[in-house]
Amino acid sequence: MDAKTAQLLDGKALAEQIYTQLQQQIQQMQPTVGRAPGLAVLMVGDNPASAAYVQNKERACAKVGIASYGQHFPTETSFSELEKVIQALNQDDRVDGILVQLPLPDHLDAVALLHQINPDKDADGLHPLNLGRLVRSEPGLRSCTPAGVMRLLQEYKIDVKGKQAVVVGRSILVGKPLAMMLLEADATVTIAHSRSHDLPTITRNADILVAAVGRPGLITAEMVKPGAVVIDVGINRVTNDAGKSRLVGDVDFDSVQRVAQFITPVPGGVGAMTVAMLLQNTVWSYSQRQ
């Protein structure tokens, strides 16, 4: 018999819609503000994955009309040099969003650098002040990946109210802020992680299952409740025996899509939404300055 497969949550298509909306919003606001919105992405070292992400972000900025003030620094750049650059960008009236591309080289303290960014220009939504605003349900800049997940659920009219949501992963980048956002949307939230006992029993209870741990194929079909919504935040590069590499998520897509009702693809799911939310954050900061 022909098994029914899950409906794809197409992050790439939704991101394109968001870009169109942002472009129109910028065109309307620019005559009043007198300049385009500005985003500064700081990259240190030459991690090829990071370089590709930064290029992707800059292309997206150009598409919607955001000016890029990105800077690329050699690996050995010191903390105090970067600190000076961030302070200057905090003062720069052309810049609405500042983002430090992670991971950073080992000698740099990412958290301490993040603390240097003016919270109102924190395009990644990761400053402690913005995380605090999220916890208190106050307006503010939201972490891009979790905000992208919520926007995707909203677009496909997936109501989370009263649903059992399980987030696998507790990072400050995704797991914790996403759990808070789901809670704010009236879901009942469980956070599972590497120390959780009997992960399959926990995940099988989920109406909405989010995988955000960075382990390829961790979530298999027998861990998923039939008819669940499965959101795959993982982006892992795996190489086959022939030496060819491809991107996969934390979910074993082929088996899980036969069980779930909705599923995000990798690539083309949450990753595309992360960039769209980064631009949305930048435009939001821009609109706050009027």
Domains of the chain with CATH codes:
34-118 (3.40.50.10860), 143-271 (3.40.50.720)
d(CA 250, CA 197): 18
Going residue by residue through the chain (290 aa), what tens digit of pLDDT does each one get?
345 899 999 999 999 999 999 999 999 999 999 999 999 999 999 988 888 889 999 999 999 999 999 999 999 999 999 999 999 999 999 999 999 999 999 999 999 999 999 999 999 999 999 999 999 999 999 999 999 999 999 999 999 999 999 999 999 999 999 999 999 999 999 999 989 999 999 999 999 999 999 999 999 999 999 999 999 999 998 998 999 989 999 999 999 999 999 999 999 999 999 999 999 999 999 999 87
Residue 122 DSSP code: B
d(CA 51, CA 38): 19
Check whether 125 is labelled as a binding-site residue. no
The verdict on whether 101 is a catalytic residue reads yes
Check whether 170 is labelled as a binding-site residue. yes
Check whether 204 is labelled as a binding-site residue. no
Using DSSP, state whether 99 is helix, strand or coil: strand
Nearest of 245, 188, 267 to residue 11 by alpha carbon: 267
Residue in 10, 25, 57, 225 annotated catalytic: 57
Element containing residue 247 per DSSP (H, E) = strand 245-248
Check whether 235 is labelled as a binding-site residue. yes
Residue in 25, 101, 116, 280 annotated catalytic: 101
d(CA 69, CA 94): 9
Residue in 96, 122, 124, 207 annotated catalytic: 124
Residue 122 token pair: 């924190």
Residue 156 DSSP code: T
The verdict on whether 57 is a catalytic residue reads yes
